Each structure stands twice: as C-alpha cells, then as structure tokens.
Amino acid sequence: MGEPLFPIETEENANDKIGRVLVIACGALAREIVAIRDRNGLDHIDLTCLPAKLHNTPDKIPEEVRRAILMNRDAYSEILIGYGDCGTGGLLDKVLEETGAKRIEGAHCYAFFAGLDDFADMEEDQLGTFYLTDFLARHFQTMVIEPLGLDWHPHLRDMYFQHYTRLLYLAQTDNPKLEEAAREAAKRLDLPFEIRRTGYGLLDPFLGSNAED
C-alpha cells in the first residue's frame, strides 16, 4: 500500500498544533501583523502572506486563500484571515464559511485601519478620496504608478483621477519618511494632501482577541 492521501493525526502531532494560530494575510499587511505580534508577545501566531499584487485581480483572492487554508489547517488549531472583502463580492466570505476560518471585519484595509464607522464618515464627508496606507506610501511606484502605466503615459493621470478631490494618507506609524513619500504621491497625482493617524485600527484587537493563548 502507498502513503495515505491525507496525513493521519496522531496524539503527538495533534499536541503540536494546540494553541497555534496561523494568520493568512495580504502581503500589504505583513509589517503591521508582525509588529502587533511582537509588541504583544503573541508567540503562538505564525504568519503567511499572499502577494499584495492580487489586489489587481481580486477575483483570484478567494481561491488563493482557500488553497492556503487547505495547505495549513492540519497544523493549526485556528486560522485567521488578514483580508477584508477586498473586492471579491462576498466570494471570500463563502470560502471562509466552507473552511471555518475567520477574517477581520471591513470591506478593505482602509476601513479596518480607520475603524468602520470613522471610515464611513470619511466616505460620506468626501467621496472623491484616494487613500494611502503605510504600505502604499512605501510602494506607490510599483503598486500605483506602474500598474496604471503613468510612467509611460503621464497624460492618463488626469483621466484616471479627474473625479478625485484629495489624497488621504491613513498612517499606521509616525514615520516622517513615509509621510514625505505620501506627500510626494499627492503631488504626483496633483491632489490635495491630508493625513490621519490611525495606528493599526481593528487589526490589533482582531489578532489579540481571536488568537488563542
């Protein structure tokens, strides 16, 4: 007989996973999750990240998350998902219902960094807002300029952003270099610059309250 198709759980490997929590997250949240884990001594949390560029094709996120869950669930007592809906139209939530994993609340990282109610107020206050996070300020060239082709076709900027009225930087950290990068991004898009320091928002309690000790 060959090897079993699925690993057989023994008392030894069952004990290995007790209390271990895996966070499957967007790569755009890696720094923040590691910072929260280390600051709070959440040594039982492991992290694996999917490429941030999946946001350019959100229809692929649910299956990539499903694949990561199925690959890892035998080794962990709980799996948390560091994604909002992120443009999947509810398909990610269907994957989580099927697999028993749990994600953070919110449609996207802007909402859970700012807080759901505060973000709703921001949207109501000014609909034409282009948001940046620490990650996007750090990777503005590769995550915004290059995918939109603005290096090669700068005239497209006015077409893409004609209905935007400001760039709002939701800052997770007090980092002067990132703030300057966000200001430069606003200049590049010819948008007024605003900043709001959100910290880690809902991500901090999500990890702390759901991760088992």
Tens-level pLDDT at each residue, the chain (213 residues):
333 333 444 455 555 667 899 999 999 999 999 999 999 999 999 999 999 999 999 999 999 999 999 999 999 999 999 999 999 999 999 999 999 999 999 999 999 999 999 999 999 988 899 999 999 999 999 999 999 999 999 999 999 999 999 999 999 999 999 999 999 999 999 999 999 999 999 999 999 877 544
Considering the domain architecture, whether residues 72 and 173 belong to the same structural domain is answered as no
The span from the CA of 119 to the CA of 111, in Å, is 5
Assign residue 91 the CATH number of its domain. 3.40.50
Confirm whether 5 is domain-assigned: no
Considering the domain architecture, whether residues 105 and 149 belong to the same structural domain is answered as no
Domain total in the chain: 2
Nearest to 54 by CA among 29, 79, 23, 80: 29
Amino acid identity at 202 = L
Considering the domain architecture, whether residues 205 and 189 belong to the same structural domain is answered as no
- pTM of the complete model beyond 0.85: yes
The span from the CA of 105 to the CA of 85, in Å, is 8
Considering the domain architecture, whether residues 132 and 183 belong to the same structural domain is answered as yes
Confirm whether 53 is domain-assigned: yes
| Contact predicate 185/137, CB 8 Å | yes
pLDDT for the residue numbered 15: 57
Considering the domain architecture, whether residues 51 and 100 belong to the same structural domain is answered as yes
Confirm whether 133 is domain-assigned: yes
Considering the domain architecture, whether residues 25 and 67 belong to the same structural domain is answered as yes
pLDDT for the residue numbered 210: 74
What is residue 193's DSSP assignment? E
- For residue 44, the enclosing domain spans 11-109+201-210
Considering the domain architecture, whether residues 57 and 158 belong to the same structural domain is answered as no
Confirm whether 32 is domain-assigned: yes
The span from the CA of 169 to the CA of 80, in Å, is 27
Considering the domain architecture, whether residues 51 and 64 belong to the same structural domain is answered as yes
Considering the domain architecture, whether residues 37 and 76 belong to the same structural domain is answered as yes
Considering the domain architecture, whether residues 74 and 29 belong to the same structural domain is answered as yes
Confirm whether 164 is domain-assigned: yes
Residue 3: C-alpha distances to residues 6, 16, 42, 74, 188 (Å): 8, 22, 36, 17, 58
Confirm whether 169 is domain-assigned: yes
Amino acid identity at 73 = R
Per DSSP (E only), the strands in 17-151 are: 21-26, 45-50, 78-82, 102-103, 129-132
